[in-house]
Amino acid sequence: MLLNREQLKKTTHTRSFYRLSMAVMRLVQALSFALVLALELSFCSPACGSTGVSQDLDYGGVPLWVNRLLGEPSVLSLRGRINRAWFRANNLNSCPDQCDCPIQWPSALYCDHRELDQVPDSLPDHTQYLFLQGNNILYVPSSVFINSTRLLWLILDHNRLQRDGLDASTLQNLTRLQHLFINHNQLAAVPSGLPSSLQQLRLAHNLITSISPGTFGNLHNLTLLLLQGNRLSVIKETDFTGLLSVNLLDLSGNNFSSFPSHLPPSTQQLYLSNNSLSGLDKNSLSGFANLR
């Protein structure tokens, strides 16, 4: 039966509406899935992680608070939590084969707990949050971050980084980096070439015995410094020069036999437990007007 012009127009509109409805339905389903995953990862504690993934993600013992309004991603591992094939099929952004790139956090790259011995090549240049914890990385060359100048967080906890694991030039180009976590590695010294943009530096549970002169000279924005679980025994006069804004300093579990001198006067929270302190003298806390 032939259709007149009006009937043909209605049929065409009906088909177009059906196709549009189906597209909207698929989009709603995708967004609903992403929202459920985001809520699960927002409220789930590390203890509800999947079997086989290390649950010692303490980030140095101080919680890492996430600001969703700024688009900050989940700090929990996605390993075993998502359908990788589905995400890759629905994510238009490039993603290294060894990593997960969830569509709800397009600037986050989850490469944690993959038994990697090196940082993946060709990191997307839009990456702002890079999770590399729980691998076997020994060395991070400067070339690996040449296109990653937008990085805000770099998490390298629980790897095997040693004295020469980070070149001085590796971090210098990361001029936007705010959080650098290298807890539970084998560093013998605080890395050099730290960018002035840093707000948090977490180096807990390494093998650090000393701090080189000028290491913190330009870190005026640093507010949190974790050095617990190292082998420090003395703080020299120039060791913390440049730290003008530190409010939390953790030196627990080191080798101090007396109360360390030359600490940042801006410090509000100071932790020195599990050292071999013989006691305090009357001048130990002088200059710390902000302690609480």
Please determine, for residue 143, whether its predicted confidence score (pLDDT) is greater than 80: yes
pLDDT at 289: 77
Name the band, by pLDDT with cuts 50, 70 and 90, for residue 14: low
More confident residue, 111 or 92: 111
Q: Which helix (H) or strand (E) holds 74?
A: none
Tokens 């909207």 -> residue: 24
Pick the more confident residue, 16 or 70.
Answer: 70
**Mean pLDDT score, 280-285:** 76
Provide the edge-to-edge strand list for the sheet that holds 224-226. Answer: 108-110, 129-131, 153-155, 179-181, 200-202, 224-226, 248-250, 269-271
Structure token pair of residue 2: 């032939």
What number is the average pLDDT over the span 201-229?
A: 96
The token pair that represents 28 in the structure block: 């709603």
More confident residue, 3 or 125: 125
- Determine the pLDDT at residue 102: 84
Q: What's residue 251's pLDDT? A: 97
- Give CA–CA dist 68/80, Å, rounded: 23
Can you tell me the distance from the alpha carbon of 1 to that of 4, in angstroms, rounded to the nearest whole number?
Answer: 10
Joined tokens for residue 191: 């890395």
pLDDT in tens, 229-245: 999 999 999 999 999 99
Per-residue pLDDT reduced to its tens digit, 153-199: 999 999 999 977 888 788 988 999 999 999 999 999 999 999 999 99
pLDDT for the residue numbered 250: 97
| Torsions phi, psi for 161 (to 5 deg) | -65, 130
pLDDT band, residue 291 (cuts 50/70/90): confident
Residue 13's SS3 state is helix
- Measured at the alpha carbon of residue 60, what is the angle toward residues 49 and 34, in degrees to the nearest 5? 35
